[in-house]
Amino acid sequence: MATHGWDIVPTDVAMPLAGQTVNSAAFSVPKNAISMTIHTATSMGGATIKLQSLDHDTDVATEAWRDVQVMNLADGSLVALDGITENKATTIPVTATGGGVLRFVATADQSGGATTIKVDFLCA
C-alpha cells in the first residue's frame, strides 16, 4: 500500500454510535479548519446521511441536536446539508457547518452493520 503525505486532520466517526441505530458518534471541528471531506462507507445499505450540530448551550443529559442548513445568498433560501450518499467523498466548507460539535444521522438503521465514516479536515 502506498503512503501519501496527507496534510489534513483525519477523524474516524463511528456509525452508528454504540447503542444507537441512526446517530453517529459526535466529533469536533478542529480550530482553523477550512473544509471537510466526508468519506462515506460503501456498506450503508442505501441510506443517506445528514449533518447535525450540537447546541452549545445544552445539558449533557438532554443534548439538543439541530439539523445544519446553509443560507443560499442568491435567493435567501435555506439548504439542508443532507442526502450525502454512501461510497462518496463529499467536500463541504467548514463555514457551511458552523463548526463546533457535529454528528451524522442516517435515514435508515445502521446498527446491523457498524461502519466508520472518515472525515478529513483541511486546516489553515
pLDDT tens string 64-121? 999 999 888 899 999 888 999 999 999 999 988 888 999 999 999 999 888 999 999 9
The reply to whether 79 falls in a domain is: yes
What residues contact residue 26 under an 8 Å CB cut-off, 6+ apart? Answer: 17, 54, 101, 102, 103
Nearest-CA neighbor of 104 among 45, 31, 21, 5?
21
The reply to whether 112 falls in a domain is: yes
Residue 18, pLDDT > 70, answer yes
pLDDT tens sequence across 23-80: 999 999 999 999 999 999 888 888 999 999 999 887 777 889 999 998 888 999 998 8
> CA 100, CA 56: separation in Å to the nearest integer?
8
Confidence (pTM): 0.90
How many folded domains does the chain comprise?
1
The reply to whether 44 falls in a domain is: yes
If one compares 53 and 7, the residue with the highest pLDDT of the two is: 53
> CA 18, CA 26: separation in Å to the nearest integer?
12
Q: Which domain holds residue 87?
A: 9-123
The CATH number of whichever domain residue 29 belongs to comes to 2.60.120
Count, residues in the chain: 124
The reply to whether 4 falls in a domain is: no
The reply to whether 1 falls in a domain is: no
How many alpha carbons lie under 13 Å from residue 83 in its C-beta half-sphere? 4
Q: What is the pLDDT of residue 1?
A: 46
> CA 122, CA 15: separation in Å to the nearest integer?
22
The reply to whether 46 falls in a domain is: yes
